[in-house]
């Protein structure tokens, strides 16, 4: 039986939850957080990520299971160590909670209920910043991170930087991430969506104080730089049309890839987007128009910016732009430009015409792309509109028939 089926068929009796508390130099707050977590019901595992402040002594004085990294490896590495331990002990899910006092263990039972309802999801705790002394950097960081998760995966996540989460153990075991520090928590969300998991949100309380800020080991410059590099890798990977390994079912990204590899299947996927045929057509038009223009190496950035400003579906606009990838559309643009400059089409493809005359072919491309872009965009948008209407009509024929009868 596939592993995804195992997770989907879990019942309330099958679900075994382990609370994992990754900690690094949190000796002052660790005892309280751990004892509160133990009172909520599930078993608790503390992962000491190479602490040097006496954390090991605190743990030895408590009745709690703990494992230790001999040196600091990062929060992501600590979570993965907890997942390996959980898998070996037969747990199905783990809930991660920070050891700095920011999170309230009283929210853990709500996570347990959410796990039972959504066993094939990552549950992310959405911190309530209202009425708290939340640092401005945290508010901005959340918005910034949410945007790039959306661009990278197509999934809307309300609080992509929250460390209060529930994970299927099997997902952490099978999804491979390169990031092992704070950037792990954003990479795992994107790769989880690519792998077929869904992301669910759960409101949680948050406490910001001088003590919790001091207890946090997030380094704004270094860790934000790591997170930015991680998003850069993920966004670039998302723009390439070859498929990801889907472990738990077809994802939105996989549907977008299928648009490139299997046009009919891909158009059906676009028709099921939560957008009207008109909205789909406009997104396709914008994506094709910008992708055809001669703005080398800037197409994706431009599409994201324009689609965001116009409130279009970025996932559609970005992925249809793959249809304009070399060599076909640039070659057509060169032919159009050559015709406009010389009154005939380029039929000789030799070292002379493509090598020694490369600069002339570049000017042909610039001219041809500018002329071709609006025609190709309108053509693609029109096809997208017609097909979106067609597939939706075929999908809901009875609804349309009933509507006609009621009018009669």
| Final residue of a structural domain among 195, 216, 239 | 239
CA dist., res. 78 & res. 306, Å (int) = 40
Is 300 found in the same domain as 196?
Answer: no
Nearest to 95 by CA among 20, 159, 36: 20
Residue 278 belongs to a domain: yes
pTM for the predicted model, two decimal places: 0.62
Is the four-CA dihedral 56, 61, 66, 67 of positive or negative sign?
positive
Is 192 found in the same domain as 97?
Answer: yes
Is 202 found in the same domain as 256?
Answer: no
Which CA distances in Å does 261 have to 243, 297, 328, 384? 9, 22, 15, 17
Nearest to 4 by CA among 138, 206, 201, 170: 170
Domains identified in the chain, total number:
2
CA dist., res. 89 & res. 76, Å (int) = 20
Residue 192 belongs to a domain: yes
Residue 247 belongs to a domain: no
- Convert the chain into a string of H (helix), E (strand) and C (coil): CCHHHHHHCCCCCCCCEEEEEEECCCHHHHHHHHHHHHCCCCEEEEEEECCCCCHHHHHHCCCCEEEEECCCCCHHHHHHHHHHHHHHCCCCEEEECCCCCCECHHHHHHHHHHHHHCCCEEEEEEECCCCCCCCHHHHHHHHHHHHHHHHHHCCCCCCCCCCCEEEEHHHHHHCCCCCCCCCHHHHHHHHHHHHCCEEEEEEECECCCHHHHHHCCCCHHHHHHHHHHHHHHHHHHHHCCCCCCCCCCCCHHHHHHHHHHCHHHHHHHHHCCCCCHHHHHHHHHHHHHHHHCCCCCCHHHHHHHHHHHCCCCHHHHHHHHHHHCCCHHHHHHHHHHHHHHHCCCCCCCCHHHHHHCHHHHHHHHHHHHHHHHHHHHHHHHHHHHHHHHHHHHHHCHHHHHHHHHHHC
| Final residue of a structural domain among 185, 207, 239 | 239
Collect all residues with Cβ–Cβ distance below 8 Å to 57 and sequence separation of at least 6.
27
CA dist., res. 392 & res. 318, Å (int) = 22
Quick one: pLDDT band at residue 400, thresholds 50, 70, 90?
very low
Is 273 found in the same domain as 185?
Answer: no
Is 280 found in the same domain as 148?
Answer: no
pLDDT tens profile 87-124: 999 999 999 999 988 899 999 999 999 999 999 999 99
Residue for token digits 């999934």? 155
Residue 209, pLDDT score: 58
Quick one: pLDDT band at residue 350, thresholds 50, 70, 90?
confident
Is 309 found in the same domain as 211?
Answer: no
Residue 246 belongs to a domain: no
Collect all residues with Cβ–Cβ distance below 8 Å to 407 and sequence separation of at least 6.
none
Is 186 found in the same domain as 323?
Answer: no
pLDDT tens profile 260-306: 444 444 455 555 556 788 988 999 999 999 999 998 778 878 888 88
| Final residue of a structural domain among 218, 239, 260 | 239
pLDDT tens profile 10-21: 555 689 999 999
Say which range, 73-82, 144-153, 255-264, has the weakest mean pLDDT. 255-264
Domain that holds residue 180: 3-239
- Pair 193, 154: CB distance under 8 Å: yes
Is 72 found in the same domain as 34?
Answer: yes
Average model confidence (pLDDT) across the chain: 82
**Mean pLDDT, range 311-339, rounded to an integer:** 84
Quick one: pLDDT band at residue 402, thresholds 50, 70, 90?
very low
Residue 42 belongs to a domain: yes
Residue 59's CATH number: 3.90.550.10
CA dist., res. 215 & res. 223, Å (int) = 16
Residue 244 belongs to a domain: no
């Amino acid at each position: 039986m596939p592993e995804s089926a195992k997770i989907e068929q879990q019942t309330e009796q099958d679900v075994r939850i382990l609370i994992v508390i990754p900690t690094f130099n949190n000796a002052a707050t660790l005892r309280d957080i751990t004892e509160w977590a133990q009172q909520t019901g599930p078993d608790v595992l503390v992962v000491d990520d190479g602490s040097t402040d006496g954390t090991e002594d605190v743990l030895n004085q408590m009745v709690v299971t703990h494992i230790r990294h001999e040196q600091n490896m990062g929060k992501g590495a600590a979570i993965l160590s907890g997942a390996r331990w959980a898998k070996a002990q037969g747990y199905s899910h783990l809930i991660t909670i920070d050891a700095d006092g920011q999170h309230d263990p009283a929210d853990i039972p709500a996570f347990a209920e959410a796990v039972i309802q959504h066993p094939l999801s990552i549950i992310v705790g959405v911190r309530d910043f209202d009425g708290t002394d939340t640092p401005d950097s945290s508010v901005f960081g959340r918005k910034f991170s949410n945007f790039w998760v959306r661009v990278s995966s197509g999934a809307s996540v309300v609080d992509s930087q929250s460390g209060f989460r529930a994970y299927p153990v099997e997902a952490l075991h099978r999804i491979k991430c390169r990031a092992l520090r704070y950037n792990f928590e954003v990479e795992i969300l994107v790769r989880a969506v690519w792998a077929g998991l869904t992301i669910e949100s759960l409101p949680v309380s948050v406490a910001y104080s001088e003590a919790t800020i001091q207890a946090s080991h997030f380094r704004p410059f270094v860790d934000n730089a790591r997170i930015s590099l991680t998003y850069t890798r993920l966004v670039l990977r998302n723009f390439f049309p070859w498929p990801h390994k889907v472990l738990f079912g077809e994802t939105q990204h996989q549907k977008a890839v299928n648009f490139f590899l299997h046009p009919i299947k891909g158009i059906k996927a676009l028709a099921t987007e939560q957008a009207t045929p008109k909205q789909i057509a406009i997104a396709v038009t914008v994506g094709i128009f910008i992708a055809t223009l001669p703005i080398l190496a800037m197409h994706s950035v431009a599409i994201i910016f324009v689609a965001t400003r116009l409130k279009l579906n970025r996932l559609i606009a970005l992925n249809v732009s793959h249809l304009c990838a070399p060599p076909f559309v640039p070659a057509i643009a060169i032919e159009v430009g050559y015709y406009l400059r010389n009154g005939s089409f380029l039929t000789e493809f030799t070292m002379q015409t493509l090598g020694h005359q490369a600069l002339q072919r570049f000017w042909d491309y610039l001219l041809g792309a500018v002329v071709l872009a609006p025609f190709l965009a309108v053509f693609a948008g029109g096809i997208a509109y017609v097909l979106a209407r067609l597939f939706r009509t075929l999908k809901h024929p009875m609804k349309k028939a009933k509507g006609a009868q009621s009018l009669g």
